[in-house]
Structure 1
Amino acid sequence: MATYDDVKDIPNHPDQYLFDVRNQSELNETGTLPASINIPLPNLEKALNLPEADFEKSYGRPKPPIDAVLIFSCKAGGRAARAANLARTLGFHNAKSYAGSWTEWQAKQSQ
């Protein structure tokens, strides 16, 4: 599991990836997590299987290497857990979910 502090520190770790698996409409309503890449959960498997050049063209960042730390976030944690499980089945063994996801992030940012 990833924590709020892990997610907050992502901009200081360019070798780690933060994926927000919410739909675009949700991001439009709430905003985004700093340094996150939006890949809605239904598109995640296809995205993680893209060739490196296509991934970078689509998402503006190099495709994560198989051993990279991947953190997944959503609204409340359920989709993030499914995304991390999916990534692990694709060989990304350092995939983690941020259980608190946007709900926790927003609450802690408001303090």
Structure 2
Amino acid sequence: MCFPFMPVTKEISYEDLKALLGKSQNLLLVDVRNKDEVDKGRIPGSINIPVNAVGDAFSLEPEEFKAKYGVTKPPLDAPELVFHCQMGRRGQMATNKAHELGYVNARNYTGGYKEWSEKEGK
């Protein structure tokens, strides 16, 4: 049974992320790897905010966030805010930082780009 005040699972699977990418207009997928890693390949639709910049980025005013990253800053209760890195650890750090800032539904794609690229045959 699900209660609205219960915290959402802080992790998301490949299958769930793939489904969200296919249907959701509200998904914000944040790749927290460094630029060199992102240049080698990325999940379509993701934006890059390196893990050490997540706190500052999500503390920006909405106008500044949009100007810097080209997307609308999600509200604190955004249902579909997902972070990922290469294998899950930095994504977890970014997810924790987002939770500290009040993003109650932020989640980490634990498989990271490594799992994504394997499953997508990249």
Match of 2:85 in 1: 74
Q: Structure 2 length normalisation: TM-score?
A: 0.85
1:77-103 deviation digits (Å, cap 9, x = unpaired): 000011101100000000110110101
Letter paired with 2:12: A
**1:25 and 2:36 correspond:** yes
Structure with max Cα Rg: 2
Please give the residue correspondences for 1:29-108 in structure 2 after superposition, counting only pairs within 5 Å.
Answer: 29=40, 31-68=41-78, 69-108=80-119
Q: What SS is found at the alignment partner of 1:18? A: strand
Which sections of structure 2, spanning at least 5 residues, go unmatched?
A: 1-10
Structure 2 CA distance for aligned equivalents of residues 56 and 6 of structure 1: 26
- Paired residues, number: 110
Q: What SS is found at the alignment partner of 1:10? A: helix
Which sections of structure 1, spanning at least 5 residues, go unmatched?
A: none
Structure 2 CA distance for aligned equivalents of residues 12 and 37 of structure 1: 18
Q: State the identity as a percent.
A: 39
Runs of 4+ in 1 over 3 A off after TM superposition: none
Confirm or deny: 8 A CA contact 1:2 1:96 kept in the other structure.
Answer: yes
Aligned alpha-carbon RMSD (Å):
1.3
Confirm or deny: 8 A CA contact 1:20 1:39 kept in the other structure.
Answer: yes
Q: Structure 1 length normalisation: TM-score?
A: 0.93
Could you say which structure has the higher helix fraction?
1
